[in-house]
C-alpha cells in the first residue's frame, strides 16, 4: 500500500460521521520558467494536501489541510465535521462511492519522476540553446502527482501520475511563433524540437498586416482547436451547464449539429493522453462519447449531478478537483477524432482562401447557450491564398459560435497532438487535449489587435 493511501486511511480514522471520504493529492514538481532566453522564475514545489468530506445526518462538509501530522489530521477531521453539522441535508446526495475495480493504465514514468532541479534547468537550456536567433519564452516543467482515496465504504484508490511539458514562444520585436510538447514520459518531450518549431513559425511572421473583419475559412492548429474546445466545454459539455440550461446541448441531444467528420470524446483512459484511472471521488474513469459523427450525444457526470438528473444517468468518472467544483464535472481529457489530411498543407489546399491560426489568447464566453466565444489569435496568424500560406497577419479578434465553426469542416489532420491545458494553478493535476489540426469553412473575425512579437 502506498504511503499516500496510508495517509488517507489515517485521516479516515480521525473522521467521525456516518460516511467519510479522504482524498490525498501530493505534488513534487519543478518549473524552469524562462523569458528572454533566461530562466527567471524557477519554482520548486513539494506539498501534500488532505481533503476530507464527512457526512453526518445526511449533511456533508468539506475541509482540507496540508498539515499531515497527527495533530493536523485530527484538526481537519474536526473542521470537516463542523462544516457538516453546519450544513443542511441534500436529498440528492448519493453517498460516497463504493469500492471499484480500476483499469490498468499508464501515466507514470520512473525516469520522469526522478527529474530534479538540475534536469529541469538542463531541459530548459536545451530549448533556449536551440534557437539562437530568437529569444525564447515559456517553461520546461516536470512533476509527480500522487492521488489516493480512502472512504468509509471500503473504497481504496491510488495513482501516481507524471508529466513533462515544454512550452516555447520564440519571439523578437515584430515576430513570434509558438510550439509545445507534453507527455507523461519526459523522453517523449524534445525541448529543442519544440523551440525550433516555434522559431520556424516566428520567422514567417515579420511584416504582419491587418485583415478586414468578416467570415473566413480557416485552418486551426491543434493548439487553437484544443483551446476552443476547452472553453466550449465549460458550459456545454459538463453536467452543471446541461442541468442548468446553459449548455448548447440542451434540447439537442441526438441532433446532427456538426459536420459528420466531427467525433469528440472525453477519454482519460487513452495512454496517448495523460491517463487517469479514477476521478476525485473514486469513480472509475470512462470514455464518454460527446459527439459522434457530428451528432450530439451527451455530457460528463459525477455522482451528485447524475443523481440530480433523475433520468437514470450514472457518474462517468468526472468528479472535479476542489478548485473546479464550481464548474461541476468537466471533460478534462478531450479527444477529437483525426481526419484524413496527411498534412497541414493539405488542409490549406482544401480551404484555398482564408486564414491560418496557430494559437489563441484570452478567450471569453460571450453567450453560453449558443456556444459564442471571443478571443484573439497570436504567435503565428497568416493569410491563406491559393491553398498556401501567404502574408502574416496581426493578432485577430474572433467572435464565433463554436457550433458554426464545427458545422462545415473541409477536413481534419491525420496526426494528433497532445496539447497541454493546465495552467498550473492550485495543486498540480496535469491534463491535456488530444486533437488534430482542423479546417473550417467559417471563422468570424471581428477586429485586429496588436502585431506579433514583443
In the stretch 399-428, what mask flags binding to other proteins with x, by CB under 8 A?
Answer: xxx--x------------------xxxx-x
- Asked if 172 and 36 count as a contact pair (C-beta separation under 8 A), the reply is no
d(CA 141, CA 134): 21
CB 40 → other proteins: shortest distance, Å? 6
Query: 287 near 295, Cβ under 8 Å?
Result: no
Give the CB-side neighbour count of residue 76, counting CA atoms within 13 A: 27
Q: Enumerate residues 345-364 that contact other proteins by CB under 8 A.
A: 361-364
CA 36 to CA 47: how far, in whole Å? 30
Site for other proteins, residues 213 to 252, rule: CB under 8 A? 234, 244-246, 251
Judged by CB under 8 A, which of 45, 209, 314, 342 binds other proteins? Answer: 45
> What is the separation, in whole angstroms, between the first and last Cα of the chain?
51
Instruction: Give yes or no for residue 447 binding other proteins (CB under 8 A).
Output: yes
- Whole-angstrom CA distances from 68 to 10, 160, 161, 228, 448 are 9, 19, 21, 39, 52
| Binds other proteins (CB under 8 A): choice among 8, 23, 24, 60 | 60
Q: What is the DSSP string of 79-122?
A: HHHHHHHHS---TT---SPPP----------HHHHT--HHHHHH
Q: Label the pairing between strands 214-220 and 156-172.
A: unpaired
Binding test (CB under 8 A) with other proteins, winner from 4, 102, 139, 216: 139
Select the residue interacting with other proteins from 3, 40, 70, 388 (CB under 8 A).
40
Subset of 259-288 contacting other proteins (CB under 8 A): none
Q: Could you identify the residue written with the cell 511563433? A: 177
Sign of CA pseudo-dihedral 189, 192, 198, 200: negative
Residue 113: CB atoms within 10 Å: 16
Minimum CB distance to other proteins, residue 95 (Å): 16
Among 37, 182, 186, 201, binds other proteins (CB under 8 A): 37
Q: Which is nearer to other proteins, 101 or 310 (CB)?
A: 310
Secondary structure letter of residue 76 according to DSSP: H
How many helices (DSSP H) and strands (DSSP E) are in the chain? Answer: 10, 19
Q: Which stretch binds other proteins (CB under 8 A): 8-16, 55-63, 293-301, 345-353?
A: 55-63
Judged by CB under 8 A, which of 9, 193, 292, 367 binds other proteins?
367
Shortest reach from residue 114's CB to other proteins, in Å: 15
Nearer to other proteins, 196 or 378 (CB): 378
User: Binding segment for other proteins among 338-346, 381-389, 396-404, 429-437 (CB under 8 A)?
Assistant: 396-404
Interface stretch with other proteins, choices 37-45, 189-197, 200-208, 383-391 (CB under 8 A): 37-45
Q: Of 100, 366, 389, 390, which one interacts with other proteins (CB under 8 A)?
A: 366
Q: Does the protein bind other proteins through residue 14 (CB under 8 A)?
A: no
Q: Which one of residues 378, 429, 433, 436 is an interface residue with other proteins (CB under 8 A)? A: 378
For the record, the C-alpha cell of 172 comes out as: 523578437
State which residue, 151 or 277, has the beta carbon closest to other proteins: 151
Q: How far is the CB of 103 from other proteins (least distance, A)?
A: 29
Specify whether the CB–CB gap between 355 and 445 falls below 8 A. yes
Instruction: State the nearest-atom distance from the C-beta of 121 to other proteins, in Å.
Output: 4
- Say how far apart CA 20 and CA 264 lie, in whole Å: 35
For the chain, what is the radius of gyration of the CA atoms? 23
**Distance of alpha carbon 427 from alpha carbon 225, whole angstroms:** 26
Q: Measured from the CB atom, is 372 or 416 closer to other proteins?
A: 372
- Our CB check for other proteins shows the closer of 225 and 372 to be 372
CB atoms within 10 A of CB 133: 9
Indicate which single residue of 35, 105, 253, 309 sits in contact with other proteins (rule: CB under 8 A): 35
Is 297 a binder of other proteins (CB under 8 A)?
no
Contact indicator for 391, 205 with CB cutoff of 8 Å: no
Residue 102 or 134 having the CB closest to other proteins: 134
Residues sharing a CB contact under 8 Å with residue 244, sequence separation 6 or more, in sequence order: none
Kindly tell me which of 107 and 430 has the beta carbon lying closer to other proteins.
430
Distance (Å, whole) CA 438 – CA 414: 10
Spatial CA neighbour of 386 closest among 356, 343, 341:
356
| Residue 104: CB minimum distance to other proteins, A | 30
- Rule CB under 8 A: which of 74-133 touch other proteins? 75-76, 79-80, 82-88, 90-92, 117-118, 120-122, 124-125, 128-129
Taking CB under 8 A as the criterion, which residues in 150-179 touch other proteins? Answer: 167-169, 171, 176
Q: Is residue 206 part of the contact set for other proteins (CB under 8 A)?
A: no
Name the DSSP class of 284: B
DSSP state of 188: G
Residues 302-331 contacting other proteins, CB under 8 A: 322-327
Amino acid at each position: 500500500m502506498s504511503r499516500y493511501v496510508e495517509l488517507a486511511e489515517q485521516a479516515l480514522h480521525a473522521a467521525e460521521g456516518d460516511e467519510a471520504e479522504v482524498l490525498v493529492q501530493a505534488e513534487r514538481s519543478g518549473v524552469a520558467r524562462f523569458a528572454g532566453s533566461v530562466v527567471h522564475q524557477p519554482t520548486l514545489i513539494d506539498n501534500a494536501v488532505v481533503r476530507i468530506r464527512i457526512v453526518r445526518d445526511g449533511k456533508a462538509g468539506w475541509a482540507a489541510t496540508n498539515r499531515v501530522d497527527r495533530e493536523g489530521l485530527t484538526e481537519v477531521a474536526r473542521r470537516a465535521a463542523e462544516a457538516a453539522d453546519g450544513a443542511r441535508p441534500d436529498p440528492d446526495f448519493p453517498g460516497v462511492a463504493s469500492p471499484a475495480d480500476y483499469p490498468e493504465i499508464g501515466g507514470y514514468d520512473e525516469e520522469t519522476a526522478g527529474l530534479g532541479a538540475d534536469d529541469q534547468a538542463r531541459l530548459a537550456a536545451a530549448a533556449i540553446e536551440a534557437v539562437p536567433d530568437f529569444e525564447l519564452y515559456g517553461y520546461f516543467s516536470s512533476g509527480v502527482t500522487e492521488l489516493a482515496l480512502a472512504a468509509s465504504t471500503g473504497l481504496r484508490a491510488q495513482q501516481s501520475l507524471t508529466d513533462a511539458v515544454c512550452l516555447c514562444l520564440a519571439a523578437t520585436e515584430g515576430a513570434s511563433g509558438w510550439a509545445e510538447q507534453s507527455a507523461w514520459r519526459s523522453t517523449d518531450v524534445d525541448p529543442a524540437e519544440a523551440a525550433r518549431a516555434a522559431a520556424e513559425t516566428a520567422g514567417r511572421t515579420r511584416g504582419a498586416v491587418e485583415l478586414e473583419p468578416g467570415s473566413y475559412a480557416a485552418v486551426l492548429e491543434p493548439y487553437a482547436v484544443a483551446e476552443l474546445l476547452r472553453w466550449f466545454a465549460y458550459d456545454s459539455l459538463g453536467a452543471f451547464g446541461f442541468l442548468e440550461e446553459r449548455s448548447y446541448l440542451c434540447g439537442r441531444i441526438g441532433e446532427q449539429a456538426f459536420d459528420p467528420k466531427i467525433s469528440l470524446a472525453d477519454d482519460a483512459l487513452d495512454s496517448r493522453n495523460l491517463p487517469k484511472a479514477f476521478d476525485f471521488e473514486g469513480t472509475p474513469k470512462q470514455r464518454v462519447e460527446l459527439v459522434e459523427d457530428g451528432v450530439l450525444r451527451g455530457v460528463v457526470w459525477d455522482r451528485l449531478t447524475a443523481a440530480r438528473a433523475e433520468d437514470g444517468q450514472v457518474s462517468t468518472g468526472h468528479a472535479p478537483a476542489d478548485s473546479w467544483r464550481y464548474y461541476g464535472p468537466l471533460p478534462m481529457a478531450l479527444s477529437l477524432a483525426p481526419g484524413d489530411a496527411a498534412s497541414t498543407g493539405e488542409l490549406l489546399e482544401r480551404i484555398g482562401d482564408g486564414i491560418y491560426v496557430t494559437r489563441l489568447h484570452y478567450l471569453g464566453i460571450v453567450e453560453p447557450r449558443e456556444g459564442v466565444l471571443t478571443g484573439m489569435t497570436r504567435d503565428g496568424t497568416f493569410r491563406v491564398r491559393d491553398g498556401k500560406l501567404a502574408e502574416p497577419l496581426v493578432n485577430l479578434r474572433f467572435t464565433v459560435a463554436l457550433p458554426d465553426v464545427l458545422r462545415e469542416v473541409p477536413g481534419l489532420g491525420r496526426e494528433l497532438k497532445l496539447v497541454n491545458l493546465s495552467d498550473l494553478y492550485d495543486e498540480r493535476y496535469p491534463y491535456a487535449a488530444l486533437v488534430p489540426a482542423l479546417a473550417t469553412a467559417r471563422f468570424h473575425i471581428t477586429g485586429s489587435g496588436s502585431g506579433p512579437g514583443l
